[in-house]
Amino acid sequence: MRALFLRSLPNHKLDPALGDNDFPLTIVAALADNRVIGLNQAMPWDLPGDRRHFRERTWGKPMLMGRKTFESIGRALPGRETIVLTRDETFAAPGVLVAHDLEGALGLAHDWARIMGAKTIILVGGGELFAALLPRVERLELTLVEGNPKGDTFFPPIDWSQWEEEKRSGPLQGPNDTISYQFVDYHRKLGAGATIHS
């Protein structure tokens, strides 16, 4: 995939005629029992098995993330298109697309979903991005990590009555994983519909 280096695309907006349903939003995230997803811009656990799972779930798709999440990853990941949403108009990084407003970021993600032949747009964090877009998300592909670690970044509260579990794997804990976890997929229940903004 060709690398792009774009400082800003402030005028790129989501076409109101498209809606989110053309490329449904999917959250891929790991969270603990207390909804912690991060501490000091890192995950408070080390799970090689979850990293492999993350690669499988995000490969070949556009990934939307906040600046702090990108900085915690440290680089654009191969096989995916990285879109960073930030208020910092001076931010730039090799191999990523940058947007400064939510609709602009979603517009870029829709464009790249078409280019890549992807069926969904992946949201990977952090907490503010999850909270802003959770009402529009159709799928949750979660790694549920056992325990209540200390953290400073949290997954937003979820109304589980709106979600139906599809698949659960685990508990799992490989030889190099620091704690046990489960992979659980959910889809939004029919009638609980994600809100589409134009």
Asked whether 31 and 179 are in contact (CB, 8 A), the reply is no
Give the model's pLDDT for residue 194.
57
Give the model's pLDDT for residue 20.
52
Give the model's pLDDT for residue 1.
33
Asked whether 100 and 108 are in contact (CB, 8 A), the reply is no
Give the model's pLDDT for residue 21.
59
Asked whether 28 and 123 are in contact (CB, 8 A), the reply is yes
Give the model's pLDDT for residue 191.
79
* Blockwise average pLDDT, block size 10, the chain, 198 residues: 36 46 93 98 96 98 97 96 97 96 96 97 97 97 98 97 97 96 97 52
Question: For residue 1, what are the CA distances in angstroms to 81, 83, 99?
Answer: 8, 14, 20
CATH numbers and ranges of domains, the chain: 21-188 (3.40.430.10)
Q: Is the pTM of this model over 0.85?
A: yes
Give the model's pLDDT for residue 101.
96
